[in-house]
Amino acid sequence: MAKRVPVERTHHGDTVIDEYAWLLKKDDPDTIAYLEAENAYTQERTGHLKDLEEAVFQEIKGRTLETDLSVPTRKGAWWYYSRTEEGKQYGIQCRVPADGDDPPVLTPGESLPGEQVLLDGNELAGDSPFFSIGTSAVSPDGTKLAYSTDYRGDERFTLRFKSLETGESLPDEIPDVFYGGAWSADGSTFFYTKVDDAWRPHQVYRHTLGSDEDVLVYQEDDERFWIGIGLTRSERYLVLSAGSKITSEVRILDANEPAGRFEVVRPRRTGVEYSLDHAGDRFLVLHNDGAVNFELATAPVDHPADWSPFIDHRDDTRLLDVDAFKDHTVVHFRRDGLTGIRILPGDGREPYEISFPEPLYDAAPTGNPEFETGRLRLAYTSMVTPPSVYDYDLATDELILLKQRPVLGGYDPGDYEQFREWATAEDGTRVPVSIVIKKGTDRPAPTLLYGYGSYETSIDPYFSVARLSLLDRGFVFAVAHVRGGGEMGRRWYEDGKLTHKKNTFSDFVACARHLKKGGWSSEIVARGGSAGGLLMGAVANLAPEDFAGVVAEVPFVDALNTILDPTLPLTVIEWDEWGDPLHNPEVYEYMKSYSPYENVDGRAYPPILAITSLNDTRVLYHEPAKWIARLRATAAGGPFLLKTEMGAGHGGRSGRYDAWREEAFALSWILDRVGVTQ
């Protein structure tokens, strides 16, 4: 049994007492008993919400077309798509033979002639309480499938192979692999990655089908770097990428020579990031060497290190990605807090951007595996427009709507409005806030304010079926696009990391106060997950009086202790994001000044709901467990609740119905915070 005794630690002359360090012992029965007791306590304190929770769940379910399918994507001689069936938790991956360039018209609940089921997640999951697919990759010739599965939620997968000609599973089976992978051109060989003890993908292996011995082709010994393996759209080159938070290095190999040696494009140089795609006799290279918002270069295939400018750097435009096709190039970018798509025709025409009608939206290329095509598949959504799939015809400049996610129950986007506001941070910086509200809602109104603000991850305007259960009950929903994210370019990110991290937290508080001052909001409930959970813990310490409640999902709230311990998953990699408090006393002092767990005091805190998962490998369960324990022992206010999924990982419960119930629980708790009981 774990002994519940304090642990004393000293760093840089500073001694701290950690009363709840014993909770790190995951395999100790006392830890499990503690988490189960917390679950029972949370269930007791939220028992009065059961009817509301069930109502919200039924609303989510009732607005969702349960038997549905995706828009088919052309790849070689096949159209690939996925579908769902009413009553089943997981999707089903399928394909049908291709006939022409237009996607086949599929009717939910019906099968097309010649449909082949590649993977049925429901059959694979069986009775397991958790199930996830990590990799699903069809060989270039369309005859084989590589796929991997996880039944715990710890993101350690078993890789298997299937013949798509016979439907039979091949005997090859490889445990403990990471996400992703890539086939050789002839489909004889599959490359995959493995993780080290710190859950860092550090090795690439080559597996030849039918072989009992796999070959290690690359190992990354620098603990700051992750590695990944992929295939260019042209399927001509295998690309092995190594990257830290601030530096990258790429190796390439002719996909027709899988037993060959990967060659470095340019050796790593601290602070320089780059990626590439193949287009005929050249590579397209996206990089930030002397270009903070990135620029696009070209390089000959026989001299990939020789970069020539193609699209120059702009202070107002962050280049996000480049997609190379036979006759055109597509650039995904960000400007003024919104995403955009730029087309560079290969026929000599001037480059141009695709225009979109709404003031707030998110658009991105998606599902474009074919190298030779005259169409661009893209995804589009806004805070009022459900996720939509378009084909953009490059010859006619026409946007062709292929599918918009059905929202049942009479949803009309015209019943809702979206807005962009600008809050003013403590240092005078203008911080964008995206807002959606149902027309006719009396203001000020109760508000759910969401935030993230790390890793240059942008929370772009997005649609949510579940969110309608709030809006229809008179809520405002808002996203605070705080520094540390990427909404306003690379400098926006850099101004919210390392020793600028506190900007993330003060920006969020400024957004909350702006919403109240501007007449949008009465009571505000804050919500965030993972690194956004750190944001939640920090703002609860910074301004507890500004919030009626806080929902922190898989929250990174024991940040200092985690980043001090290089034996924990991801710690060394994270030093480029947060700083290295183990070796740098200034970083230690700065992190200690904002880390939520260290800064809980005796003030009155709002009610807090922390949701975590026992098998999470990204933010370990003990962080919210320790945080809630200290809040309950130290702070006034509350209540402070902890809910642990005992058989899930970072993303929570895996089945869609289970996920809807988990969301309904969180939303019912949010509604209850402001007195909405039905």
Q: Which residues are catalytic?
A: 530, 616, 650
Length of the chain: 678
Residue 561: which of 612, 620, 614 has the closest Cα? 620
Q: Residue 583 has which token pair?
A: 């070796």
SS3 358: coil
- Nearest residue to 431 (alpha-carbon basis) of 451, 447, 405, 415: 451
Q: How far is it, in rounded angstroms, from Cα 669 to Cα 49?
A: 7
Q: For residue 641, what are its two tokens?
A: 């609740």
What one-character DSSP code corresponds to residue 298? Answer: E
Task: Give me the amino acid identity at 60.
Answer: I
Give exposure, 94-124, as e/b (b: 16+ Cβ within 10 Å): bbbebeeeebeebeeeeebeebeebbebbee
465 CB neighbour count, 10 Å cutoff: 22
DSSP classification of residue 463: -
CA distances in angstroms from 285 to 307, 382, 417, listed in the order given: 8, 30, 40
- Closest C-alpha among 176, 171, 173 to residue 150: 176
CB-based contact 545:523 (threshold 8 Å): no
The two tokens of residue 403 are 């599918």
* One-letter amino acid for residue 595 of the chain: S
In 10 A of CB 188, how many CB atoms?
Answer: 17
| DSSP annotation string for 424-486 | E-TTS-EEEEEEEEETT--SSEEEEEEE---TT--------TTTHHHHTTT-EEEEE--BTBS
Place of tokens 């006939």: 99
Q: Is the peptide bond before 639 cis (omega within 30 degrees of 0)?
A: yes
DSSP SS3 for 574: helix
* Three-state secondary structure call for residue 210: coil
User: Which tokens hold the place of 291?
Assistant: 């270009």
Q: What's the one-letter identity of residue 537?
A: G
SS3 of residue 76 by DSSP: coil
Q: Sign of the CA dihedral 371, 375, 381, 386?
A: negative
Question: 344, 329 in Cβ contact below 8 A?
Answer: yes
**504: which DSSP letter?**
H
Amino acid type, 654: S
- Which three-class secondary structure state does DSSP give residue 63? helix
> Which residue do the tokens 């494009």 mark?
265
- Other beta carbons less than 10 A from residue 171's beta carbon: 10
Euclidean distance between CA atoms 548 and 539, whole angstroms: 12
DSSP 606: P
List the beta bridge partners of residue 283: 278, 299
Count of beta carbons in the 10 Å neighbourhood of residue 336: 12
Amino acid, single-letter form, for residue 159: L
Burial class (CB in 10 A: 0-12, 13-18, 19+), 403: middle
Kindly calculate the radius of gyration of the chain based on its CA atoms and give it in whole angstroms: 25
First to last CA, the chain: 43
Q: Which residues have a Cβ under 8 Å from the Cβ of 533 and sit 6 or more positions away?
A: 552, 553, 554, 555, 556, 557, 610, 619, 624
